[in-house]
Structure 1
Amino acid sequence: MVKVTICGAAGGIGQPLALLLKQSELITHLALYDVVNALGVAADLSHINTRSNVTGHGKEDMDEALKNAHTVVIPAGVPRKPGMTRDDLFKINAGIVRDLAAGIAKNCPEAHVLIISNPVNSTVPIVCEVLKKHGVFNPKKVFGISTLDVVRSSRFAFEINNAIDPQSTRVTVIGGHSGVTIVPVLSQIPGQTFTKEQLEALTHRIQYGGDEVVKAKDGAGSATLSMAHAGARFTNVILQATVAGKAGLIESTFVNLEADPESTAGFRAKTHLDYFAQDVEFGREGVSKILPLPTLSDYEQLLLGAAIPELKVNIIKGAAFITDDAKI
């Protein structure tokens, strides 16, 4: 049995994410957890004629929702509002993610943990530190889903150059998952012919695409549908690798670099970063290999230089939330 649990399943990301994952032939049990409305969402999805069983779990039922899960996807938390950065969400979402991580450590310590809750640059270290405190941390199984940056990169590049196929072109995105920490490696897109002005505008749009959605929704929400698509895409890659045993699958994701210490030793020594978004090849256990950085243009080198200090602050903030927390 392959049980996938969505924590925050009744929210703006959680509901469309659950709908997309209900289509997967690799999932036999889809468990939906949220503090409100999870049972209703589960009842609705359970009518869809695919093989997976759907169960709903409310506020007092977290342990049952997580018990023996193969994969846990976490979109739980509050959405961004106009003028709010991802880092502004930290104080609100950090406690939510901390408590979910403790539940994972107790009920499904071997699970693959996929984190959507923002700010990812900080929430991933939070989850890792909680799992460390419980003695069940495996860096090969914890992922920050930065796939929306990849999705935006190929779509926005296509809007400038229609010769680029937005579906088959996968852009490597390195760094992190907020603002200047997002470094799309656009120079490696086959056949790209961007001018300097186009490249700068495209990079800025990818880095701050979330703001575009928040503004368009006029304070009524953030990027939920596109994030659900990105989350489902990454979850399906994990399932294809870990359940179906499909080899050669690669996606950019924000991970603890201890997942592949040999490949990342030089980078860690140079940057003093413990977490980074980079192309990862997946295997049965999760991370099979963290791939080397692609060749970067001079412009991308400048972007990376700006990203590293911000990443350090985000990572330290997340880790410190747990190391200084007596509740765990």
Structure 2
Amino acid sequence: MKVTVIGAGNVGATVAECVARKDMVKEVVLVDIVEGLPQGKALDMQEAAPIHGYDTRIIGTNDYKDTEGSDICVITAGSPRKPGMSRDDLLAINAKIVRSVTEQFVKGSPNAIIIVVSNPLDVMTYVAYKTSGFPSHRVMGMAGVLDTARFRTFIALELGVSVRDVQALLMGGHGDSMVPLPRYATVSGIPITQLLSREKIDAIVERTKFGGGEIVKLMGTSAWYAPGAAAAEMVEAIVKDSKRILPCAAYVNGQYGLKDLFIGVPVRLGRKGVEEIIEVELNEEERKLLEASAEHVRKGIQDLERVETNAG
């Protein structure tokens, strides 16, 4: 199989390296508009192959012709928010980028599956879906895998246990409106509600919600190791047709009472993409939080449409 990663920045390069190191696809193509950047990073990764022991071929390019025939595409391209830039500015800029790269990619890979990582995640996934014309099961966003990984990390650190024994579920939009679900978090099957006080659980939930912001405050830029690894885990589930149950930004059409938007929900991932959206039982409080998160995502879509209408 062939995987394309659009955007050779920190996140895109990490996705490419993580996919290559899993040694599960024949070729990874790293594409970027900056001349020399994807070529240099790809060559560096290729030279690490004998050390890590993978045979994946890694190609860096500025030409979408090299992406033709891809099975999976991970879109990481986009602009970070800069001083003086409004949320509307960021929406408009990144929507233009995501729309452009999607149009260029799908011409040569009409049967691919698209995973969006660009922010604002849920809205950009919607943009890629509308632009590509692909069926909804072949377009999804990476957010829940990352946010759940952070949730699981903080639980493991608090309890002093292996992260491999911690499972958790998180839903909703990517950002402050996400909905961690402590009732569904367990350590080797033991609910964390039996292992941690309500105060400690609430603190972990809050830290999870602002996990990305915590990293930005520390080093002045967004994370890339965990987001890159999270996208690569989704790629692996699709390539291996492993039917993993993972939280992803998927297109809802009636599930959870929500329609016509992308939002984080548990899905079964396989060779066809999103093969099923799994509806778990939510209590009244959890459902209200999910609906509020969905409204936040819907407002983002409406804001983008308003900005683009005014610009046009």
Q: Please give the TM-score of this superposition, normalised by the length of structure 1.
A: 0.83
Q: CA deviation at 1:85?
A: 9.0
Partner of 1:111: 112
1:21–1:318: structure 2 CA closer, same or farther, 3 Å change rule? farther
In structure 2, the residue corresponding to 1:73 is in which secondary structure? strand
Indicate the percent of aligned positions where both proteins have the same amino acid: 28
Is contact 1:38-1:56 (8 Å) kept?
yes
The answer to whether the 8 A contact 2:28-2:57 is kept is yes
Is 1:233–2:233 an aligned residue pair?
yes
Q: Aligned-pair distance for 1:87?
A: 7.1
Equivalenced residue count is 299
1:167 CA drift (Å): 2.5
Mark the CA change 1:195 to 1:310 in structure 2 (over 3 Å): closer, same or farther.
same
Q: Distance in 1 between matches of 2:27 and 2:109?
A: 14
- Whole-angstrom CA distance in 2 between matches of 1:312 and 1:35: 31
Q: Distance in 2 between matches of 1:103 and 1:151?
A: 32
CA deviation string 1:228-266 (max 9, x = no partner): 12122222112111xxxx3x42111001125xxxxxx35
* Cα separation, 2, equivalents of 1:166 and 1:5: 30
Corresponding residue of 1:34: 32
Counting only pairs closer than 5 Å after superposition, residues 242-281 of structure 1 correspond to structure 2 as 246=242, 248-258=243-253, 265=254, 267=256, 270-281=257-268
* Of 307, 319, 326, the match for 2:293: 307
Equivalent residues of 2:92, 2:307 under 8 A apart:
no
CA distance in 1, matches of 2:302, 2:85: 20
Q: Give the distance between the partners of 2:24 and 2:311, measured in 1 at CA.
A: 38
Q: Which residue of 1 aligns with 2:6?
A: 7
Q: 1:148 to 1:213 in 2, by over 3 A?
A: same
- The CA deviation at 1:81 is 5.4
Letter in 2 for 1:215: K
How far apart, in 1, do the equivalents of 2:181 and 2:81 lie?
A: 26
Q: Which amino acid aligns with 2:28?
A: L
When normalised by structure 2's length, the TM-score is 0.86
Shift of 1:148: 0.8
Tell me by how many angstroms 1:299 deviates: 4.6
What secondary structure sits across from 1:222 in the alignment?
Answer: coil
Unaligned runs of 5+ in 2: none
| AA partner of residue 230 (structure 1) | A
Matched, 1:141 2:138: yes
Question: Counterpart of 2:79 in 1: which secondary structure?
Answer: coil
C-alpha separation between the residues in 2 aligned to 1:99 and 1:223?
24
**Partner residue in 2 for 1:262:** none
Q: Tell me the alpha carbon deviations over residues 174-206 of structure 1, each in whole angstroms, 9 at most, x when there is no partner.
A: 1111211x1111111233133332232222211
Is 1:185–2:181 an aligned residue pair?
yes
Unpaired stretches in structure 1, ≥5 consecutive residues: 259-264
RMSD, aligned CA: 2.6
Q: 1:55 aligns with which of 31, 56, 59?
A: 59
Secondary structure of the structure 1 residue equivalent to 2:246? strand
Cα distance change on mapping 1:14 and 1:283 into 2, 3 Å? closer
Higher strand share: 2
C-alpha contact 1:82 1:215 (8 A) present in aligned 2 = no
Q: 1:322, CA displacement in angstroms?
A: 7.9
In the other structure, the counterpart of 2:21 is 23
8 Å CA contact 1:126, 1:322 repeated in 2: no
Cα drift, residue 51 of structure 1: 1.4
Please report how far the alpha carbon of residue 298 of structure 1 lies from its aligned counterpart in structure 2 after TM superposition.
Answer: 5.2
Q: How do 1:204-223 residues align onto structure 2 when only pairs under 5 Å count? A: 204-217=206-219, 219=220, 221-223=221-223
8 Å Cα contact 1:175/1:278 also seen in 2: yes
Q: Residues 73-222 of structure 1: matches in 2 within 5 Å?
A: 73-80=74-81, 89-132=90-133, 137-146=134-143, 147-163=145-161, 165-180=162-177, 182-190=178-186, 191-193=191-193, 194-217=196-219, 219=220, 221-222=221-222
